[in-house]
């Protein structure tokens, strides 16, 4: 009898160990590693495919405050002279927003002016529209080669400069998300400024210096300031102490020359 009980106990222990081993080997979720799932979540976008310069890759991993922000990416030389735009989200770059006009109780695409969206980039772009300001309009838009749909989340942009560049250049990204109030930038701060009301926390500007002759080095872009709250100027404000959730639109932005 004792031998029978001992055999039963041994069999139960064997099956328990086998079950635990199988469980530990079973893929979690969809069977992909966390790295693979991260790769799947990154949207691939391209711009300026006919550029003559080296390939440049910019990757942004979305943060917890991310909610379809608009952004622009551009190049400057080492002295701060604007060189060219690499990418602008289409709504701003074309001046047409999906929820631009309300008709019959529903929102439809239509022309909208948002000078407070990306004023630092717009003033660098420096092309005046028919209203005397610098944000793009349907009649004064960014060429299609440099714009595209707003990615829903994390993205990797593959792009090129128009011409071959040598030495060090600066790459910038300005990003803004409308209606992101905080304790400093409240809806009562500038109650009569409709441009401010559409922006709230000003756009955040990120930057990095890259060496066009040293490909393969991944460089993290860092926040260097914020733009004017309503887009009246192209000034950059380095004090970010009043910026909160706007700094969490992205968790990481990197650039590498291919």
pLDDT, one tens digit per residue, over 41-99 is 899 999 999 999 999 999 999 999 999 999 999 999 999 999 999 999 999 999 998 76
Helices (DSSP H) in 26-165: which residue ranges? 34-40, 90-94, 119-125
Q: What is residue 117's three-state secondary structure?
A: coil
pLDDT score for 99: 66
| Average pLDDT of the residues of the chain | 87
The pLDDT of residue 19 is above 60: no
The pLDDT of residue 16 is above 90: no
Integer angstrom CA distances of residue 120 from 74, 87, 97: 11, 14, 20
The pLDDT of residue 3 is above 80: no
Q: What is residue 144's three-state secondary structure?
A: helix
CA distance 169 to 34: 34
Q: Which of 56, 81, 253 is nearest to 160 (CA)?
A: 56
Q: Which two tokens stand for residue 107?
A: 């929102």
pLDDT score for 222: 98
More confident residue, 189 or 10: 189
Q: What percent of the chain has pLDDT over 90?
A: 78
Q: Which of 159, 151, 148, 146 is nearest to 62 (CA)?
A: 151
Sheet holding 250-257, edge to edge: 43-46, 155-160, 55-62, 250-257, 219-220
pLDDT score for 4: 40
Proportion of the chain in helix, strand, coil states, percent, rounded to 5: 20, 35, 45
How confident is the model over 242-251, as a mean pLDDT? 98
Q: Which two tokens stand for residue 174?
A: 């300005």
Q: Which residue has the tokens 């090129």?
A: 160
Ranges of each domain in the chain: 1-31, 41-257
């Amino acid at each position: 009898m004792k031998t029978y009980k001992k055999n039963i106990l041994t069999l139960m222990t064997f099956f328990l160990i086998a079950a635990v081993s199988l469980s530990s080997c079973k893929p979690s979720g969809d069977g992909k590693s966390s790295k693979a799932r991260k790769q799947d979540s990154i949207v691939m976008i391209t711009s300026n495919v006919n550029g003559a310069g080296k390939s440049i890759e910019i990757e942004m991993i979305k943060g917890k405050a991310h909610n379809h922000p608009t952004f622009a990416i551009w190049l400057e030389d080492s002295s701060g002279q604007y060189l060219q735009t690499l990418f602008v989200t289409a709504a701003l770059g074309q001046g047409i927003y999906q929820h631009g006009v309300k008709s019959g109780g529903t929102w439809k695409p239509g022309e909208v002016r948002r000078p407070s969206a990306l004023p630092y980039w717009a003033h660098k772009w420096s092309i005046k529209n028919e209203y005397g300001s610098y944000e793009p309009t349907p009649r004064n838009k960014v060429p299609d080669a440099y714009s595209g749909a707003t990615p829903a989340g994390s993205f990797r942009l593959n792009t090129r400069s128009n011409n071959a560049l040598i030495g060090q250049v600066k790459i910038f990204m300005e990003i803004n998300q409308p209606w992101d109030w905080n304790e400093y930038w409240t809806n009562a701060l500038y109650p009569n400024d409709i441009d401010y009301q559409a922006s709230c926390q000003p756009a955040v500007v990120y930057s990095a210096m890259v060496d066009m002759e040293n490909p393969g080095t991944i460089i993290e872009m860092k926040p260097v300031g914020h733009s004017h709250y309503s887009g009246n100027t192209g000034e950059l404000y380095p004090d970010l102490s009043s910026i909160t959730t706007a700094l969490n639109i992205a968790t990481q932005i990197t650039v590498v020359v291919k």
